[in-house]
Each structure stands twice: as C-alpha cells, then as structure tokens.
Amino acid sequence: MINGTVFFAFVVGALSGLVAAGAVIWAKDLRLKMTWWKWLPALLWYLLLNFSVLLAFTMIGEGETGAGLKMLVFFGVILVILGAGLVRLLLAGRAADKGLPVETG
C-alpha cells in the first residue's frame, strides 16, 4: 500500500535525479573542469543537505519543534561554510586556466 511516506520518498528521489542532471549541465555551462574528486564533495554536500532537512522536519513532525529548528540552524551554518569552500574548490580550476583571480560572488 502506498502511503504518504512512500510518496514523499519517491518525490525526493525524483527531485534528486533532476538535481544530478542539472548539476552536470550547470558544470558544463560554467566551463568547470569536473573530475571525480570534485564531484565527490559536491555529492557529499548535497547528501548532507538532504539529511539535515529531512532530519529536522521529521523532528518537527514528531512534535519536537525546538529540536528540529535547532537542527536546521546547526546544519544550516555548517552547510553554508562547507558550501563556500566547495564553491572555491570548484571555481579554482576555472580561474587558474584564465590567469584570473578566483571570484566567489
């Protein structure tokens, strides 16, 4: 029997597939030289994003609103910091090819 949880997992999986396809197109449009060791931290960052959002909203749904919101803030700060480092990593190779400084903004 299909319930709300199964449907939600299906939607998250389908959206993750679209994000993966979009990431490939995005990397080509920005002329990023993506290797397996650059895709790996991007994948891990995306998995941490999914984990933190699903964990926080599961806690909120279980009635632990305070804990869920604290998780969102905690993981949000970590994800912003890791995301900034990831952007610098991905753009570093592109800027080095052109002899230009790395622009992250």
Q: Where are the domains of the chain?
A: 4-98
Q: What angle is formed at CA 92 by the lines to CA 91 and CA 94, rounded to 5 degrees?
A: 65
Calpha distance 65→59 (Å, rounded): 7
Q: What is the pTM of this model?
A: 0.80
Radius of gyration of the chain (CA): 17
Q: What is the dihedral of CA 62, 78, 104, 50, to 10 degrees?
A: -40
- Report pLDDT digits (tens) over 48-84: 999 999 899 889 989 999 999 999 999 999 999 999 9
